[in-house]
A and B are shown apart, each in its own frame.
Chain A
Amino acid sequence: MTSTTDSPFFDPMPALVWNLVCRMLGPIYTEAQPHSVSVFDWSQAVWDQALDIAREHKPLPQVRPPRNRGLLDKSQPSSQSSDVGAFEL
């Protein structure tokens, strides 16, 4: 017979939280896409092509309407920033 104290879930909090996660996420969850990742060809040429296109890419001038401007300008990276092109982590 196995004692419950031997279980990695003896601490009731992880088990309780996990149970809540399962109960909450399960019914809301919907699968977004029908295809498996293996359906596609992920060869090196794909990555190289994406990089080549990005190097040649010239984005449109960033002209924005005035709505929400004050709110959102603070989170928009400067075009001079070295962080442009990356997510803030």
Chain B
Amino acid sequence: MSALSYHVQHMPDPAFWQVLADHPKPHGQYPCPLTLGSRIAFVFAPFNTQEGYADFGNPKKCMHLVVPSTPAPITSLGYLFGPPTGMSRRMFVAFFYRSNEAVLAECSPIVMLHKPLGLRLQSGAVYTDFSVASAVLKGDDAPINLLYASPSNLDLSLVIREEADLAGKANLSIQLRVPMLASMTVNPPAPARLPI
């Protein structure tokens, strides 16, 4: 199994990204349909994808994401970064049950650090046979540059930054800063090929 790495895929569709940024609305009707670009049919709802995610003592919940029942089994998931608002961006996860049909919900960037151990349905059933897209989507030109710190310890933080490699491809650099942990490199990216 290879390590997860992400590159940034640009998919401009101002109407979609603006609508996404405006959800959830106080009296909005959910689930609601959203369409991105050339016909990715999303169904968005503001449900908690990470219910039980941090229950590390419960192997059936920890590092699992919660999903609704879909017309077909979910086969892949991918992450989207909403438009910048001040110094931040909201992040979303899309659960694809067909190549261009997915459920969309908000999530925390923490889930990017590790492939979810499973996707848990309300019935308790768990999907484990799914992939994580190597591309993250955004619709604007501003580079992704985010800092998330623990409320209880600001020295514990997660930094996600968009950087270009030698081939000019935009990749996500993810840094985790943990006090008292030895400085270490986890799953370093393979050196980029020179554009020859």
Q: Which A residues are closer than 8 A to B by beta carbons?
A: 18, 20-42, 44, 46-47, 49-51, 53-55, 57, 59-60, 62, 64-65, 67-77, 79, 84-89
Alpha-carbon separation in the docked complex, A32 to B156 (Å): 19
How far does the Cβ of A23 sit from chain B's closest Cβ, in whole Å? 7
Q: Is the CB of A76 within 8 A of B9?
A: yes
Q: Is the CB of A75 within 8 A of B50?
A: no
A60 CB contact (under 8 Å) in B10, B14, B78: B14
Q: Is the CB of A30 within 8 A of B108?
A: yes
How far does the Cβ of A62 sit from chain B's closest Cβ, in whole Å? 5
User: What are 11 sample pairs from A and B whose C-beta atoms fall under 8 A apart?
Assistant: A28-B148, A29-B53, A34-B48, A37-B68, A40-B45, A42-B31, A50-B35, A54-B40, A72-B141, A73-B10, A84-B37
**A33 in contact with B48 given A24-B176, A68-B141 (CB within 8 Å):** yes
Nearest B residue (CB) for A47:
B71
Nearest B residue (CB) for A22:
B56
How far does the Cβ of A22 sit from chain B's closest Cβ, in whole Å? 4
- Total A-B pairs, Cβ < 8 A: 189
Alpha-carbon separation in the docked complex, A85 to B16 (Å): 13
Q: Is the CB of B47 within 8 A of A40?
A: yes
Which parts of B145-178 form the interface with A (CB within 8 Å)? 148-153, 156-158, 164, 167-170, 176, 178
Nearest A residue (CB) for B7:
A75
Is B129 an interface position by the 8 A CB rule? no
Q: Is the CB of A40 within 8 A of B48?
A: no
Q: Is the CB of A62 within 8 A of B12?
A: yes
Of A20, A38, A89, which is in contact with the most chain B CB atoms at under 10 Å from its CB? A89
Is B70 an interface position by the 8 A CB rule? yes
Nearest A residue (CB) for B30:
A40
Q: Is the CB of B33 within 8 A of A49?
A: yes
